Structure 1
Amino acid sequence: MPQPILRTDRLLLVPLADRHLDLEVELDSDPEVLRYLYGRARTRDEVIGSHANRMALADKVDGLGYWMAFGTDGGARGSTPPPAEDDGEFVGLMMLPPAHGPDQPDDPTVSDLGYRLPRRHWGKGLASEASRELLRHAFDTVGQRRVIAQTMTVNTGSRRVMEAVGLRYIRTFFPSWDDPLPGTEQGEVEYAITREEWRATRPG
């Protein structure tokens, strides 16, 4: 199953492709966007490396990977013809790769939820909207058993999104970092939701 185009009321989610590299570079040029990841802006060469890793991860489990989100001004559902990415503003990078980190399970039935938005789109509920669609896709289409999400304990904004879409707190853990960011001493948190838990929240 190829990674599909996904739609919500306000967003068009397009599978990440090489044509999106400049948008990834733009996104990672703001140090505030990367405050809890790198603590600084990233160079183009660094983003090129990350892009290659993302494309490789998207090949590991059918249907999982990374999506670029574009605004649709409410026209995503029921529009004729459906909106194209060129019609909307870039909203962010949405992530649902197979779990792959050093503190994540090596299990193809577990995926890792994430989101990265430009500051101009913070506080609009777009990360939550995209995440709900990615959870639907993970459980109903791909057949994932579990979805996890991880962030720094001090990243309250990201934690609010996790809680808003139904993930529950699982644990706090303390990875070792060569160049720790401010707040590292409080550790990292993991949230998760199982297919059964997600389906129990669905209407009907």
Structure 2
Amino acid sequence: MTELIEFETDRLYLRQWIEADRELFARLNADPRVMEFYPNVLDRTASDAMVDRVQAIIKERGWGLWAVELKPDKQFIGYVGLHVPKADLPCSPCVEIGWRLACEYWGKGYATEAARSVLKVGFDRLNLPEIVSFTATINRRSRAVMERLGMNLDAETFEHPIVPAGHILREHILYRLSREEWRSIPSSMP
């Protein structure tokens, strides 16, 4: 049986998904502010299907997109984790780091805090040689997280094959971080 990885940061638990997360995740996925840089919001059926896929991947691999919970009140706030994209991307095959948090938790450093721990798991426990992240070129908030993590911007943009041609979100940027680069980043980096 595959070991299911869970871990914590100073303020957060990154854990397996539980049934109670589904309603809050559906609310998050239906919020146009949260889904601004995705082609569309998700209804409850699509949101639950995503949870099912994420749980199956974690069960198979031991890792994936972890549910994120605040330590003090055990409130589910979204996900942060690692994913192997199926789309044919310029960096394929690759492991991507990504996040999606409810907007009331933005601006508090939770995405960066959780993502730093996810990078540590990816590089130290899973021995990944590189982790990438990508987003629509206009997504300044996620780009700022990628930069705070010490990830390096690729010079070229690319058209995401899943986003419809002509859509404002089709043009994407790609950030990369190798295990060697990650090990050279000071642990005190903001």
Deviation at 1:202, TM superposition (A): 4.5
- Asked if 2 retains the 8 angstrom alpha-carbon contact of 1:169 and 1:189, the reply is yes
Runs of 4+, deviation exceeding 6 Å:
none
Deviation at 1:57, TM superposition (A): 3.0
Q: What SS class does the counterpart of residue 12 from structure 1 fall into?
A: strand
Structure 1 letter corresponding to 2:157:
T
Give the unaligned 5+ runs of structure 1.
74-86
Deviation at 1:48, TM superposition (A): 2.1
Aligned partner of 2:121 in structure 1 is 137
Q: Describe the shift of the 1:66–1:175 C-alpha distance in structure 2 as closer, same or farther (beyond 3 A).
A: closer
1:23 equivalenced with 2:35 (yes/no): no
Q: Describe the shift of the 1:167–1:63 C-alpha distance in structure 2 as closer, same or farther (beyond 3 A).
A: farther
Give the unaligned 5+ runs of structure 2.
none
Q: Once the two structures are superposed, what CA deviation does each residue of 1:30-89 show, in whole Å capped at 9, x if it has no partner?
A: 1110010134x32111112222222333345x342111111124xxxxxxxxxxxxx422
- Asked if 2 retains the 8 angstrom alpha-carbon contact of 1:21 and 1:48, the reply is yes
Aligned partner of 2:15 in structure 1 is 14
Counting aligned pairs with the same residue, the percent is 27
Q: What SS class does the counterpart of residue 86 from structure 2 fall into?
A: coil
Q: Describe the shift of the 1:19–1:180 C-alpha distance in structure 2 as closer, same or farther (beyond 3 A).
A: farther
Q: Distance in 1 between matches of 2:158 and 2:18?
A: 33
Aligned partner of 1:98 in structure 2 is 84
**TM-score normalized by the length of structure 1:** 0.80
Name the Cα RMSD after superposition: 2.1
Q: Describe the shift of the 1:54–1:102 C-alpha distance in structure 2 as closer, same or farther (beyond 3 A).
A: farther
Q: Describe the shift of the 1:53–1:180 C-alpha distance in structure 2 as closer, same or farther (beyond 3 A).
A: farther
Q: Distance in 1 between matches of 2:148 and 2:184?
A: 15
Q: Describe the shift of the 1:64–1:104 C-alpha distance in structure 2 as closer, same or farther (beyond 3 A).
A: farther
What is the aligned residue count? Answer: 184
Match runs of 1:1-204 below 5 Å? 1-39=2-40, 41-59=41-59, 62-73=61-72, 87-103=73-89, 105-107=91-93, 110-170=94-154, 171-176=156-161, 177-178=163-164, 181=167, 183-184=168-169, 187-202=171-186
Q: Distance in 2 between matches of 1:104 and 1:55?
A: 27
Deviation at 1:175, TM superposition (A): 3.0
Q: Describe the shift of the 1:174–1:57 C-alpha distance in structure 2 as closer, same or farther (beyond 3 A).
A: same
Q: Describe the shift of the 1:66–1:168 C-alpha distance in structure 2 as closer, same or farther (beyond 3 A).
A: same
Q: Once the two structures are superposed, what CA deviation does each residue of 1:164-201 show, in whole Å capped at 9, x if it has no partner?
A: 011110231023533754x336x101101011110112
